[in-house]
Copies of this chain bind each other. A is one copy, B any other.
Amino acid sequence: MITLSSDFRSPYPAAMKGVIASQSDARLVDISHEFPRQNVDAAAFWLSEILPYFPSAVHLVVVDPGVGTDRDEIVVRAGDHALVGPDNGVLLPAVRELAAEWSVFRLAEYGTDEQSWPPSRDSSTFHGRDIFAPMAAHVHEVGVDSLESVDALEPTDDYEPLELPEPTLREDRATGKILAVDGFGNAITNIPGHVLDGRYDKHVEINDSVARVRRTYDDADPGRRIVTVGSHGNVELAVNRGRGDQSFSVNTGSSVTIKY
């Protein structure tokens, strides 16, 4: 199985699928191609939430604001998963969820006798199609346990780390950031849900406004703002049958302070 993630929108992901299908019969599953544009943090968050639910697979990830610059391309082995993408940190939070230890390989300069992979580096703008998709298909065919045997891959310890931003927790408040906004408009913070323990059905201050802590969306009347814990375990700003991001005036990257 090969999963595909990008910020490309339709129809570019189809070209990657064609390239992969030309090299491999692997089952293809889309994670998303609607990730916020060139936002490495948001993609990293979603991948860390979703990839752990998958069985052994190769995960192709192309959220790549540095395409065309000299950033490396990497493959990470994490347990029986392999992740393929740019060396900008986008893979790391998911890697840490998938396995306690991992190995990183970078795509090396390769001689003219390297025929199979990647077929070309000509396109300076669509590495998803021209480099990463053939890499993912090749890794799938070779197998995650045999990455050492691939001529064009060399082990490295020099890769971009990425830590999602950490919240600050004090007795009377928690301060953090919006990691992502989902399709319902729920704004997902980096603040762990346990800060709401003992506060259900009470009011808290969110930045300059007030909202009630609720266990589920449906505990509030339609249109009312709530603070709740999402399926990811983090504090989430939401509106029952409405959009939390708009109501709380936040977006991916916004600062959030919760005062109890």
Contacts and interface: CB of A to CB of B under 8 A. Distances in A.
A147 to B, nearest CB: 23
The copy count of this chain in the complex is 3
Contacts of A52: 18
A244 interface: no
Interface residues of A, number: 57
Nearest to A233: B123
Given A69-B218, A124-B215, A125-B217, A34 B53 contact: no
Contacts of A219: 68
Given A51-B18, A183-B12, A230 B38 contact: no
A30 interface: yes
Interface in A122-138: 123-126, 129-130
Given A38-B241, A68-B216, A218-B67, A46 B124 contact: no
Interface of A: 1, 3, 5, 8-12, 14-15, 17-19, 21-22, 28-35, 37-38, 46, 49-55, 65-69, 123-126, 129-130, 182-184, 215-219, 228-231, 241
